[in-house]
Amino acid sequence: MTGGLTEHGGGRIAVVVVNYESGSVLASCVATLRAEGPAELVVVDNGSIDGSVDELRQRFPDVKVLLPGRNLGYGAGANRGVAATRSEFVLVCNPDLSVSPGVLMELTKVLQTDPTAAVVGPLIRTPEGERYPSARRFPSMIDAAGHALLGQFVPQNPFTRAYQQSDLALDLETVRTVDWVSGACFLVRRSAFEQVGGFDELFFMYAEDVDLCWRLGRTHWKVAYAPRAAVTHLQGVSTARHPYRMIIEHHRSLLRFARRSTMGWRRALLPLVVVGIGVRAMLAGLREKANR
């Protein structure tokens, strides 16, 4: 374990990687995470048959691997992993990540400095080095509709820019409070995670991170974004194998979250939300077909 991590609580950090048929990138991800010196490292494998776990065990036989025996979904897998650890802070992440040196130290400092923060997410970059909008706000009805209809075709439209908080790209130094951060990689305070019951396992894939941050906010916890901590995300290594199923799961999760989070008079607009999500799913399917 490095001195810097010990100094900033590295011994109090567990890492949970949720794997599903990620191939050789799983072992590569674990290699970058082990270099950060966490106290615990657990891989939860959701029924992979691609040899990714075999390769991991060959390279790192001491890494703890949980085998539920089937694909539980991302949130449910993460819950099993968190339950198998004891550290105060837990990094939950995808297997298709490369973690830059010092990431755990930077993220841990945020939660140690602010006891009201439950979650902190890093800056996520694409393999090309571009910033992925991993820190976002809960969209208004107007922004949600505009993003749903235009986001896939006109990414720089004002609705998408507002939802994705594009202004955060202008400052890659300052820790900010945001509505939610991507579940592809974030550090969570165990006490807060357990207080809200962890991820809602009704979300099989997608929006489980939005829902978790929303429930944490309702119990007065804060969500932070720390761009000085950077990871690279390959994106879609496993989901690319089943694109149409992922489109269905994505939009099913959006609908579930809309039903849960829409309050008061806005609930009368839910039928329009359902139609909008259906149209977005159809457009996503057509786009996927056109790209094949």
**Spatial distance between the Cα atoms of 213 and 207, rounded to a whole number of angstroms:** 10
Question: Scanning the structure block, which residue is given the tokens 């439950």?
Answer: 118
Q: Which two tokens stand for residue 22?
A: 């990620």
With pLDDT > 90 as the criterion, what percentage of the chain qualifies? 63
Among 1-10, 59-68, 116-125, 192-201, the range scoring the smallest mean pLDDT is 1-10
How far the first Cα of the chain sits from its last, in Å, is 46
Determine the average pLDDT of the residues in 212-228: 97
49 vs 170, which has greater pLDDT?
49
**Spatial distance between the Cα atoms of 83 and 66, rounded to a whole number of angstroms:** 11
pLDDT digits (tens, 9 = 90+) for 143-176: 777 777 777 778 888 888 888 888 888 899 999 9
Is the pLDDT assigned to residue 19 strictly greater than 50?
yes
Among 60-64, 213-217, 266-270, the range scoring the smallest mean pLDDT is 266-270
pLDDT recorded at residue 46: 96
- Residue 121 carries which side chain, given as an amino acid letter? G
Q: For residue 95, give every residue at least 6 positions away whose Cβ sits within 8 Å of its Cβ, in sequence order, or none.
A: 17, 18, 19, 20, 22, 25, 26, 29, 30, 43, 52, 237, 238
**Spatial distance between the Cα atoms of 92 and 45, rounded to a whole number of angstroms:** 13
Determine the average pLDDT of the residues in 215-233: 97
CA proximity to 142, closest of 286, 289, 273, 292 = 273
CA proximity to 241, closest of 46, 63, 59 = 46
**Spatial distance between the Cα atoms of 71 and 156, rounded to a whole number of angstroms:** 35
Predicted TM-score (pTM) of this structure: 0.88
Question: Scanning the structure block, which residue is given the tokens 């592809």?
Answer: 184
CA proximity to 183, closest of 153, 216, 159 = 216
Mean pLDDT of the chain: 88
Q: For residue 196, give every residue at least 6 positions away whose Cβ sits within 8 Å of its Cβ, in sequence order, or none.
A: 212, 215, 216, 219
261 vs 186, which has greater pLDDT?
186
The angle that helices 25-34 and 52-59 make with each other, rounded to 10 degrees, is 40
Extract the runs of DSSP E, i.e. beta strands, from 241-283: none
3-state secondary structure of 116: coil
Q: What domains lie within the chain, and their CATH numbers? A: 3-140+162-238 (3.90.550.10)
